[in-house]
Chains A and B, each alone.
Chain A
Amino acid sequence: MEHSVSFSVNICEMDPDYENLGEDEPDEEPIFQDLRESAASTQRSPETLQMDIFRECTDSQSDGTPDTEQSDGTPDTEQPDGTPDTEQPDGTPDTEQPDGTPDTEQPDGTPDTEQRSSLQRHCWSAATQKVLSSMPSRTVGKSSTAVTSQHSSQLHQNQASPHGSAHSFRPVRDGLSKVDVKEISTEENKKERLVSSIRGLSLGEGIRKLRAMPLSLTDKMEIRRLAFSGIAGNTLLSRNIQCYSHLRAYILRMWRQCLFSCHIILSFLQLWHLPMKRLSGRFGTGVLSYFLFLQTLLHFNFLLLIITGLFVVFPQAINPPPLYDSHLNNLTGLELLMGTGYLSQSLMFYGYYTNTITKTCSTGESPVCKADRSQIVPYSMPAAYFLTIVIAFFITCIILVYSMSRSFGRSLQVLKSKGNLAVQVFCSWDFKVSKKSSVRLHCENISNRLKELLSETISGEDKKSCKQRLCRLIVRLLAWAACLASIFSGAIAVHHMSEAFIKRRSFSDTELLLLSAVVSGFNLLLPGFFNLCAWLEKRDSPNVRICVSIFRNLLLKVSIVGVLCYRWLWRIAGEPGHHGLKCWESFVGQELYRLLLIDFIFTVLYTFIGEFLWRLFSKRMLKRNRKPVFDIARNVLELIYGQTLTWLGLLFAPLLPAVQIIKLFVLFYMKKSSVMLNCQASRKPWRASQMSTLFIFILCFPSFLVAAVSVIYTFWKITPSSGCGPFRNLTTVFQSSKLLRQELEISHPALSWLTWLYSSLVENPLILFSTTGVFLMVIYFHNQVVDGQRQIIAQLEKQIENEGKDKKFLITKLQESSEQNNLVSPQ
């Protein structure tokens, strides 16, 4: 019993100056003595030190009952001879009894008292608190990464700068040479450790690790200098190493300079930096995600345009085919809209492209090509067209899957969420918002959200009566029925219209325009109807509302695209001669072009009428001060719909990405000005990262998948038209690759290994099946690994909880035992 008390006493003595001197206590004793002697201006014995602490304890605690016991109890347990304490030799002989003169505060008193005052809520004695504050987890935590920067700032204070920084717990260091040396060596050790941790890695990894260190920039540069340029030494070996690192650094610098000299591309990638910043400053992350998504789509289309432009459009532009109709040379406005006339015989559409194999001589000087075939470079237009489309889709697929998995990984919530309140307090403030009114609105949002969460946690589940719940259920069912019915009727209407036109075999301008207008009209009006249904449903959780809205819009788009695909790929492509079409691919391409343009025109009209005029109307007529909120879900799905059409149309109109690029460009500026003028920030919180993941997911799965499946179906099953295009007179498009193979074998027998490779790998179904099987197995394996890790995380969480309970239990036991001791040995 006595031992335990004296243990606590000695810990008391050690405590205030101990915080920063690391875990190895026994080594610190002589230093500790020095510290004790020179700390502050007065000579302090451990008892007076303790009395200060007790005084502070009594001051900060309102009832103070345990302390009065302690202040009598603890000093008495110190025997003048000193109980043989194995843990810690007494510094100063404990001869004096505490007088209780309030000494000057210890130099680092403030953090300790605050630490103690928060623990005192549980009326733990000062002794227990001393034990707590010198627990290994507390002292080790001082050297963790959370305070590495504090320590690192002291990396520079090697010389005796007597006073530590405002938030260091360092005592006064006059003449503490031993302490200096000790601390310098521990800091040097830390620096060495950091440098060596980087040196062992490759350059890229090392830089990544360096950037992620929570040190100040000056320290990072110091470590970088040490780690990457090597330490100058005299031995040959170290000189060689230094040479190599120098060379490596030089090469890296040259590469970077090259990279930044093509700043045109970089400035394109950072195209809308300033407008985006203004938008996020005013509206926050939610609205910004729409514009970021628009930028992503722009990059995709740009990539597609480069690929098709280089390999399909440019070669054909150099070798133009003979024109069919010479009187279609003038371009009128309506033709620009319809895609007929002049445009139908331009590079824009499929029909322009020939199925010839252009031969160019590799020796450019002589005007006449020698008969020697090895010098002829054939460029097969059909094969180029086919392979370009396939490769463009393949690259797009890879990029989509990569960005989706990266986005998904970032937004994954692995651990179970016990509640949302802490997350709301710390993670809900959007640091990008910078406009005053938006900041005020953001504060209101957060306080409303916190109040809602508080009321939920206090009152528990929202108790509704049975009748209310039934009512709600009926309303929801009705809303769903209405939405599904509207989608269905829209699709059926388009289908009937299309069938009617096909039966009449008339493809006049007005009818075609009408069809496109009807499709775009449905796309525009039905989402408004969905919003109305959502308003009637009055769902509580904003997340569910957004997801339901996205799902309904998605259903609408998918059904419309489905009906249109049926029209093009089944009805028109199935019996082209039946409809009197010479070139059905061009026709389909024109329809897609028309759809894109009319969609754009309707969007412009809606932005003008729906947002601008509605704002004026609601302000003047309805006298409402609130501006409408930007409907993110609807606008994003519009973008995805446009992108689906572009992907579908890539085969039939290779320059369609260019149209989409122009459209996206104009749309950005238009939406930006509309949002700035007409809308205000939303009152509901927006789960930005999960929504971005959802958008990319929708872009990949319904949208890209539909396009890819249509293209594959076209290549595989549909007969190309015989009168136009690069695949005329072939039964299926796949045959073009065979033709290329034959041509290559004849002209360049040296490249026959390429054709052999192609035929054995790509055309062999066995290889494709086995590759797919291997991929599926890898996916399954990774899935199992993730499941296992999730289980381990759950177990570790449980362990941490149990540890916490153990700690509480031990602390209360310690408290009880020390109280008992004080009661047993009164003085």
Chain B
Amino acid sequence: MGNKQTIFTDEQLDAYQDCTFFTRKEILRLHGRYHELAPHLVPMDYTNDPDCKLPLALIVNMPELKENPFRNRIVEAFSEDGAGNLSFNEFVDMFSVLSEMAPRELKAIYAFKIYDFNVDNYLCKEDLEKTLNKLTKEELTPEEVELVCEKTIEEADLDGDNKLSFTDFENMISRAPDFLSTFHIRI
């Protein structure tokens, strides 16, 4: 290719390309973004797989995520420890799933995780209330919020347990053709 980069080995870049929806150039660009979040913490040389995690507070300051009401949940959903500390692999994974080439099923799985605030694998009423409050920045009255939650569960709950399991959620997503274009962050 001409320009030799020393951040990753060729095998590592190939592995990244096969496992994500990014090209080599984009992976290198992502590494640049990751590095500039904490230049003193993130090493420039990733050939030895260094164990470096950035805390939640740094990641949600990225311009793409800063104003997003779900930024904390997004980062938590992709972190292994659930607290929002992302290694570079998890960072790439997050943007790969949120890129425009990720298939609908994959996006639905992670969207479900993001909206599941109490991490019990169900979207119960409390989860819905929190989602709504974040969506509307508390412009709806509590009665309206209650009503919307009830109606949402009524509409989407297929097996009648008054909360949305992943199957219910996926079924509802399939009725929304815009989901693929809205659940997308450009990086």
Which residues of A pack against B, CB within 8 Å?
111, 114-115, 118-119, 121-122, 132, 137, 141-142, 144-147, 153, 165-167, 207, 210-214, 216-218, 220-221, 224-225, 228, 249, 252-253, 256-257, 260-261, 263, 266, 273, 276-277, 280-281, 285, 410-415, 417-419, 421-423, 425-436, 439-440, 443-444, 446-447, 450-451, 454, 457-458, 687-690, 800-801, 803-805, 807-808
Q: How many A-B residue pairs have CB under 8 A?
A: 234
Q: Does B45 contact A (CB under 8 A)?
A: no
Q: Does B38 contact A (CB under 8 A)?
A: no
22 pairs, A vs B, C-beta closer than 8 Å: A141-B166, A146-B112, A166-B81, A167-B119, A216-B89, A217-B16, A228-B18, A256-B24, A281-B64, A415-B171, A418-B155, A419-B155, A422-B151, A422-B152, A433-B67, A434-B63, A443-B136, A443-B139, A447-B137, A450-B140, A451-B140, A457-B151
How many residues of chain B are within 8 Å of chain A by beta carbon?
Answer: 92
Residues of A close to B122: CB separation below 8 A:
115, 118
Residues of A close to B120: CB separation below 8 A:
111, 114-115
Residues of A close to B152: CB separation below 8 A:
421-422, 425
Residues of B75-112 at the interface with A, using a CB-CB cut-off of 8 Å, are 78, 80-83, 89-90, 92-93, 96, 98, 102-103, 105-106, 109-112
Closest 8 CB pairs of A and B: A804-B160, A447-B136, A427-B176, A217-B89, A411-B177, A146-B166, A220-B19, A447-B139
Partner of A688, one of B21, B157, B161, B181: B181
A428 touches B182 (CB 8 A): yes
In the complex, what's the smallest C-beta–C-beta distance from A540 to chain B, in angstroms? Answer: 20
Q: Does B72 contact A (CB under 8 A)?
A: no
Residues of B33-53 at the interface with A, using a CB-CB cut-off of 8 Å, are none
Residues of B close to A451: CB separation below 8 A:
140, 144
Given contacts A224-B18, A450-B136, contact A214 B106 (CB under 8 A): yes
B15 touches A422 (CB 8 A): no
A118 touches B111 (CB 8 A): no
A431 touches B98 (CB 8 A): yes
In the complex, besides A115-B122, A122-B162, 15 extra interface pairs with C-beta distance below 8 angstroms are A137-B159, A141-B166, A146-B113, A165-B82, A214-B110, A276-B186, A415-B171, A421-B155, A422-B151, A423-B175, A427-B179, A444-B139, A454-B148, A687-B177, A805-B160
A454 touches B147 (CB 8 A): yes
B15 touches A426 (CB 8 A): no
For A156, give the chain B residue with the smallest CB separation.
B80
Given contacts A111-B120, A425-B135, contact A801 B158 (CB under 8 A): yes
A145 vs B65: C-alpha distance when bound (angstroms): 26
B156 touches A422 (CB 8 A): yes
Residues of B158-180 at the interface with A, using a CB-CB cut-off of 8 Å, are 158-163, 165-166, 169, 171-180
Q: Does B23 contact A (CB under 8 A)?
A: yes
B140 touches A426 (CB 8 A): no
Partner of B178, one of A249, A425, A427, A805: A427
Residues of B close to A260: CB separation below 8 A:
1, 23-25
Partner of A425, one of B25, B65, B118, B128: B128
For B82, give the chain A residue with the smallest CB separation.
A166
